[in-house]
Amino acid sequence: MNRPYIICHMVTSLDGKVTGDFLGNPECAAACETYYEINRNLKSNGFICGRVTMEGSFTGGYYPDLSEYEPVRHDMDLKMDFILDDMTGFYAIAFDPKGKLGWKSNKIIDPDGDPGYDGAQIIEVLTEQADERYLGYLESMEIPYIFAGETEIDVKLALFKLKSIIGCDTLLLEGGSIVNGYFQRADVIDELSLVVAPVVAYKNDKPLFTDSTLSTFEAVNAKIENGVTVLNYLKKGKRASNNSVVIKWENALTIDEAIESEKSDSTGLYYISRVFGNKETTLYLGIATKHNTIRHRLKGHQNWWLKEYRGTIKVRIGKVIYPYTNIDEIIDHAESAILYEQDKLFFENTSKTKSYTYNNLYCFKNVGDIFELKPIIDMAEQE
């Protein structure tokens, strides 16, 4: 894909609204808590918000005195993006067409605010309408900016640049209603992660997507957690309707917890990593059958090669949640396709990394706590 994979992650009311005061209702506290917990577990390169949401959540309406800044003029009216040399980390990407947001730092400073955002590197996505002195202000603050469009932000162009210039593979789209609507109309939302609060909102509150067009998604997961409903949908792709396979990865457990867990008492996939110091490294991908369950296989690894590793060994258990038949055959293909696609990552695996054989072409979608797994692995691309 020439753009990042986009997961739209939002709290909605029962009637599908996302803006307004309903979120402040005590009945929504559990939904907000669940939302932030999922937000922290969704592995991504950053989050995108519209200008209004960024202002409400982070800048509080501050705006610099632009007369203090030199205008940045570009030769021949060609608008040049401004990128820092060191652009790794977690990004807070503001869709701010006219350059209305005033930041006091080039990182989100919100230690007591909503968990999961503090320290994110800010990136401004602008149009040619932005004041040239605003560019001077951003450069003086070392805030990277990219241009995408003349008056409105061209979502596809912005995403192309976020992938090709910044290197974003997965981004969370986190509202509000207007920016979500731009993405929905551009048909670039790959996944919906919705936390439904048990309230009906006010009549003037806005829906998940402003000015939406018709599009379809397939339901891949639904659960009640903490008294709220959590729903996951994937975009219904042309190929996906016949051969899509969805693998849901549980949150990482220590290996002892994983061996204890009833989830390891079955078939499925498992993904082993090691946390040493502050760094987590992928080690191994395995599969289990009815006769050699995940628990059994993990015990085997623990008694053998895992002994060599210092630090904490983590395990993510993966289950095929769609389709519902031929699971063993699909698990086998999933292992092969993931190892073939990401062979360098799984350096403890020795087989299946250089080639694989198959009868069917599947499109694997990894959802949940996927750490370094690619969200989509399409076997057709390997034909």
One-letter identity of residue 86: D
Q: In the bound complex, what is the minimum distance in angstroms from residue 84's beta carbon to ligand NAP?
A: 23
* Omega before 323 within 30 of 0, i.e. cis: yes
- Please give the Cα distance from 179 to 173 (Å, whole number): 8
CB-nearer residue toward ligand NAP: 50 or 318: 50
> Taking the mean position of all CA atoms in its chain, how far away is CA 206?
23
CB-nearer residue toward ligand NAP: 98 or 235: 98
Q: Contact 210/178 with Cβ under 8 angstroms?
A: yes
CA neighbours closer than 13 Å in the CB half-sphere of residue 299: 9
The residue nearest ligand NAP at its CB is 176
CB-nearer residue toward ligand NAP: 13 or 349: 13
CB-nearer residue toward ligand NAP: 132 or 332: 132
Q: How many CB atoms lie within 10 A of CB 146?
A: 22
CB-nearer residue toward ligand NAP: 9 or 319: 9
Q: What are the structure tokens assigned to 90, written together?
A: 């977690």
Q: In the bound complex, what is the minimum distance in angstroms from residue 134's beta carbon to ligand NAP?
A: 12
Q: In the bound complex, what is the minimum distance in angstroms from residue 31's beta carbon to ligand NAP?
A: 9
Question: Which residues would be at the binding site for ligand NAP (CB under 6 A)?
Answer: 10-11, 18-19, 23, 49-53, 56, 95, 97-98, 100, 152-153, 155, 174-179, 182, 206
Q: In the bound complex, what is the minimum distance in angstroms from residue 228's beta carbon to ligand NAP?
A: 12
Q: 138: Cβ–Cβ under 8 A, 6 or more apart, which residues?
A: 82, 99, 124, 144, 145
Strand partners, 346: none
Q: In the bound complex, what is the minimum distance in angstroms from residue 242's beta carbon to ligand NAP?
A: 33
